[in-house]
Structure 1
Amino acid sequence: MDNTLAASVAHLTKTYGTGDGTVTALNDVSVGIRRGEFTAIMGPSGSGKSTLMHIMAGLDAPTSGQAWIGDTEITGLNDKELTLLRRRKAGFIFQSFNLVPTLDVKANILLPFDLDNRAPDDQQTRRIRDLVEQLGLGRRLGHRPHELSGGQQQRVAIARALAAGPELIFADEPTGNLDSRTGREVLRILREASAAGQSIAMVTHDPIAASYADRVLFLGDGRIVADKPRQSAEQISAHMLRTEQEASA
C-alpha cells in the first residue's frame, strides 16, 4: 500500500437497484487522496462525488473494488472496527450537521474526545481555543444546537471535525450553509490544516471553494474525468461548463 496516501480506492464500482433499474454511481474508479494535501472533488449532480467520499470514509460499501484509510483496507472491516478507525483517523463535516441536540456547543466540539475516553492534550486545547475564536463561537459555547442558526451549527460541526487534529478530514459541501465571509474563513482554516500536514477531501460544487484546494478532481458519469493541480475559480468554472456542454452534446 502506498503510504503517501491518506485514503484511496481501487477499481471501485457502486451500483444501486437491479435489472433494468440499475444505476451505476461509480464505474471502476481508482484514485488516492495524498497526505498533507487539500483535494477538492467536483462534478455535476449525479456524477458520483458524494458516493465516492462516503465509500472512502467507510460510511458506505462498494459493490466491488477496495478502499483504504491510510494503509488499512476498510472494505473488509466490520462496523465496530470501522467506527474505531474513523474515530481515531478521520474528521467529518457534512451538510447535515449531526450535532447532538442535548449537548451544548462546547460538549459537541469535545465529543470526539469523550467517545474515545480521553481529554484533549495541551496542543489540542490550544487548537480548540483558536478554532472557537476563528469561527466566532466564543459566545455560543453554552448554547444547544436548536438555539443556533444553520450557519452557526455548521461552524460547530467544523470545529468538532478539526478539534482532535485528525490525519484525514472529509468535508461534503462544508460552506453550503455559510455566508461568503464565514465560508472564506472556513476554507482558509482547511487550507491551513492541510499546510500543517492534515489531509482534506472536500466535495463541492462551488468553483471558489475548490480554488482553495491543492488539487481538483473532476467526476463525470461515475468516473474521474480530470485530475488538475491548483486551479483558479475561473479555470474551474470553465472546465465545469465544458464538461456539461460535452455531456449534453
Structure 2
Amino acid sequence: LGLAARVTHLTKSFGTGAGTVTALDDISVGIRRGEFTAIMGPSGSGKSTLMHIMAGLDAPTSGTAWIGDTDITALNDRDLTLLRRRKAGFIFQAFNLVPTLDVKANILLPFDLDGRKPTTPEQHRIQDLVYDLGLEKRLTHRPHELSGGQQQRVAIARALATEPDLVFADEPTGNLDSRTGREVLRILQGASANGQSIAMVTHDPIAASFADRVLFLGDGRIVADKPRQTPEEISAHMLRTEQEMAA
C-alpha cells in the first residue's frame, strides 16, 4: 500500500526547564495510501499537534516527518509550501476562507495559487462537490454572508478541489448539523475509496466510525491502532483511555 505520510520518533515539547510540556512523546506512525484514518484522544493528548507536524504546519522538537517520499523536516519554507500546495488539502476548524473572494473563487483558490485553470474533469468534479455540499446557490456569496456550517462546507470543497493525494481534516464536522456532517464524512469516504489518503482528527465517535482505521492517542503516545470500529466500540475505548489518563 505504501504510506502517504509518516512520522518517526516524533517528539514535540513546548516551554523550557521545569515548565516543559511534552505534547508528543516518541511517536512513529504512518498514514496509509487510499485509507481514511481517524485520530482520536482526549483533549491535550496531542492529536492536533500530530496532524500539524504531519502536514508540515509545525516543526517537531525531534524526529522526522515525511509526506510521500519527501522528508519535510529538511525542507526550506518555499519548498515546503510548494509540496503542501501540490500534495495536500487542509480542512481546519478556522476555515481560512479569503473574505474578499466569493465562494466560487475560494474553492478555485488552490488552482490560482498554482497558476493554472482546472481541467475539464476537474471542473466536473468541482461541480459535483458543490452540489453534494449544497453550495450551488451560494457561489456568488462572500464568506461573511454564510453560516459557520456553510463556510465549513466551502473549506471542504476547496480542500478536495484539486484531488490532493493527502487530506488533513481537523474536526471537519464540528460546525455542521448531523445530516451535513454525515454527507461530509461520506464525501471523505468516497475520496479515500478513490485512492486519496485522509487523516482526520475528531473527538466524535460517530465521525470516527466512518474511518477505515482509528488511532487513539493518550499523553502524547499512540495507545491503540484499530481497524474500523463501531461508534459504541470507539466510545468505550475513549472512556477507558480517559480513565487511565486520570488514574
State which of 78, 81, 100 in structure 2 corresponds to 1:80. 78
Contact 2:34 2:192 in 1 (8 A): yes
1:213 CA displacement: 0.1
- Deviating above 2 A after TM superposition, structure 1's stretches of 4 or more consecutive aligned residues are none
1:89 corresponds in structure 2 to 87
Tell me which residue corresponds to 1:149.
Answer: 147
CA distance in 2: counterparts of 1:62 and 1:51, whole angstroms: 9
Q: Distance in 1 between matches of 2:240 and 2:64?
A: 31
Shift of 1:245: 1.4
Q: What's the CA shift string for 1:105-162, capped at 9, x where partnerless? A: 0000000000000111121111100000000000100000000000000000000000
Per the alignment, residue 168 of structure 1 pairs with 166
Match of 2:64 in 1: 66
Q: How many percent identity over aligned positions?
A: 83
Pairing 1:121–2:119 present = yes
Match of 1:237 in 2: 235
User: Aligned with 1:187: secondary structure?
Assistant: helix
Q: Unmatched 5+ residue regions in structure 2?
A: none
CA distance in structure 2 between the aligned counterparts of 1:207 and 1:123, rounded to whole angstroms: 35
**Per-residue deviation at 1:248?**
1.8
Which residue of structure 1 aligns with residue 209 of structure 2? 211
Q: Counterpart amino acid of 1:171?
A: A
Query: What is the identity, as a one-letter code, of the residue corresponding to 2:225?
Result: D
1:39 is aligned to: 37
What do you get for the CA RMSD once the two structures are aligned? 0.6
Q: Distance in 2 between matches of 1:18 and 1:49?
A: 21
Is residue 187 of structure 2 the alignment partner of residue 223 of structure 1? no
Shift of 1:216: 0.2
State the 1:30 CA deviation: 0.1
| Corresponding position of 1:183 | 181
Q: In the TM superposition, what whole-angstrom CA distance separates every residue of 1:184-223 from its partner, at most 9, and x where no partner exists?
A: 0000000000000000000000000000000000000000
Find the counterpart in structure 1 of residue 107 from structure 2: 109
Residue 229 of structure 2 aligns with an amino acid whose one-letter code is Q
TM-score, normalised on structure 1?
A: 0.98
Which residue number corresponds to residue 128 of structure 2?
130
Q: Give the Cα separation in 2 of the matches to 1:207 and 1:27.
A: 24
- Distance in 1 separating the partners of 2:91 and 2:143: 16
Whole-Å separation in 1 of the counterparts to 2:186 and 2:118: 23
Counterpart of 1:33 in structure 2: which amino acid? I
In 1, distance between residues paired with 2:157 and 2:244? 39
Provide the residue aligned with 1:9 in structure 2.
Answer: 7
Aligned residues: 247
Distance in structure 2 (CA, Å) of the matches to 1:115 and 1:183: 28
Alpha-carbon displacement from aligned partner over 1:64-114 (angstroms, at most 9, x marks no partner): 000000000000111111100000000000000000000000000000000
- Alignment pair present for 1:20 and 2:13: no
- Report the TM-score, using the length of structure 2 for normalisation: 0.99
1:216-236 deviation digits (Å, cap 9, x = unpaired): 000000000000000000000
* Equivalent position amino acid for 1:175 in 2: T
Secondary structure, in 3 states, of the residue corresponding to 2:28?
Answer: strand
Cα distance in 2 between the residues matched to 1:87 and 1:235: 36
SS at match of 1:44: coil
**Contact 2:219 2:245 (8 Å CA) reproduced:** no
Q: Which amino acid in the other structure matches residue 202 of structure 1?
A: M
Letter in 2 for 1:66: T
